[in-house]
């Protein structure tokens, strides 16, 4: 069963072609790394997958249903969760509220207002924070946390939101290597436990090979290769990056 099906997807910003006729499918439970030089269209693709920008042409089926037919953000939030760099959180709120923000799609206005004073679904927040190892920081101000901790809070929010697909746009770009590995390890482990699907854009080919089952390489808005991790050779990678340097000249 394919959870994401894309056919002939294109997107243009003014004159610049960001994505040109992309087609691929993602199976449920797959972990996909998107790699490629900057400007290759990774972010645009993730934004289209998240439903935050509409494609110009092409078909995008999410769980068998065209993306346009998802009537509101709440319905979409059940299917898709997004994690970016740690600037995603509201620094002025304690961690617990940033985590419970994952519930906002289900809550009405008054319940969400009440929760700011008397946290609702505390147990869910505590469970999520425990799984990312931050239970003791539940009531700490998010702004006082380190970059890695903030990213773990963002993961706890995803756990509470519990979508079927998780889209991650360079989630470790601003972390030092040791922290970055911690986060990737934790995220892939959690995704496996929840039987979720993960699509992540990455700069580092090393990490992509270490943590993902499938690697999709983009270049100039097109698929350069799309292979299971074990089939990827050095030639594939040198091709991907050296070609880019040629095209720059």
Tell me the closest approach of the beta carbon of residue 134 to other proteins, in angstroms.
Answer: 10
| Size, binding site for other proteins by CB under 8 A | 46
Residues 158-217 that bind other proteins (CB under 8 A): 161
Out of 5, 56, 63, 106, the only residue in the binding site for other proteins (CB under 8 A) is 106
Closer of 16 and 122 to other proteins (Cβ): 122
How many CA atoms lie less than 13 Å away from 3 in the CB half-sphere?
20
Q: For residues 121 and 101, is the Cβ–Cβ distance under 8 A?
A: no
Q: For residues 166 and 191, is the Cβ–Cβ distance under 8 A?
A: yes
Residues 30-49 that bind other proteins (CB under 8 A): none
How many CA atoms lie less than 13 Å away from 87 in the CB half-sphere?
4
Residue with tokens 């709120």: 93
Residue with tokens 């990774």: 42
Out of 17, 59, 61, 135, the only residue in the binding site for other proteins (CB under 8 A) is 135
Burial class (CB in 10 A: 0-12, 13-18, 19+), 42: buried
63 contributes a contact to other proteins by CB under 8 A: no
Interface mask toward other proteins for 80-99; x: CB under 8 A: xxx-xx-xxxxxxx---x--
Closer of 58 and 105 to other proteins (Cβ): 105
Stretch that binds other proteins, among 32-40, 124-132, 202-210, 225-233 (CB under 8 A): 124-132
Q: What CA–CA distances, in Å, run from 191 to 28, 81, 145?
A: 11, 12, 24
Out of 32, 48, 138, 191, the only residue in the binding site for other proteins (CB under 8 A) is 138
Element (DSSP H or E) covering residue 246? helix 234-248
Tokens of 123: 């147990």
Closer of 103 and 214 to other proteins (Cβ): 103
Tokens of 82: 């997004």
68 contributes a contact to other proteins by CB under 8 A: no
Element (DSSP H or E) covering residue 24? strand 16-27
Residues that bind other proteins (CB under 8 A): 50, 52, 73-74, 76-78, 80-82, 84-85, 87-93, 97, 101-102, 104-107, 109, 112-113, 116, 122-124, 126-127, 130, 135-136, 138-139, 141, 143-144, 154, 157, 161
């Amino acid at each position: 069963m394919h959870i994401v099906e894309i056919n002939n997807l294109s997107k243009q910003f003014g004159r610049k072609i960001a994505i040109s006729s992309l087609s691929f499918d993602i199976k449920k439970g797959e972990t996909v790394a998107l790699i490629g030089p900057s400007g290759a269209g990774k972010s645009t693709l993730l934004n289209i997958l998240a439903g935050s920008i509409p494609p110009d042409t092409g078909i995008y089926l999410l769980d068998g249903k065209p993306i346009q037919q998802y009537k509101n953000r709440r319905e979409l939030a059940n299917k898709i969760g997004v994690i970016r760099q740690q600037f995603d959180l509201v620094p002025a709120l304690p961690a617990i509220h940033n985590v419970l923000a994952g519930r906002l799609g289900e809550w009405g206005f008054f319940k969400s207002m009440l929760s700011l004073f008397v946290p609702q679904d505390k147990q869910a927040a505590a469970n999520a924070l425990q799984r990312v190892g931050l239970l003791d920081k539940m009531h700490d101000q998010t702004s006082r946390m380190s970059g890695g901790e903030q990213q773990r809070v963002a993961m706890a929010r995803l756990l509470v939101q519990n979508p079927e697909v998780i889209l991650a746009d360079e989630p470790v770009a601003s972390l030092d290597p040791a922290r970055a590995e911690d986060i990737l390890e934790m995220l892939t482990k959690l995704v496996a436990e929840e039987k979720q699907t993960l699509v992540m854009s990455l700069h580092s080919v090393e990490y992509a090979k270490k943590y993902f089952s499938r690697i999709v390489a983009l270049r100039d808005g097109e698929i350069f290769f799309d292979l299971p991790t074990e089939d990827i050779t050095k030639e594939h990678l040198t091709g991907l990056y050296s070609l880019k340097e040629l095209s720059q000249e």
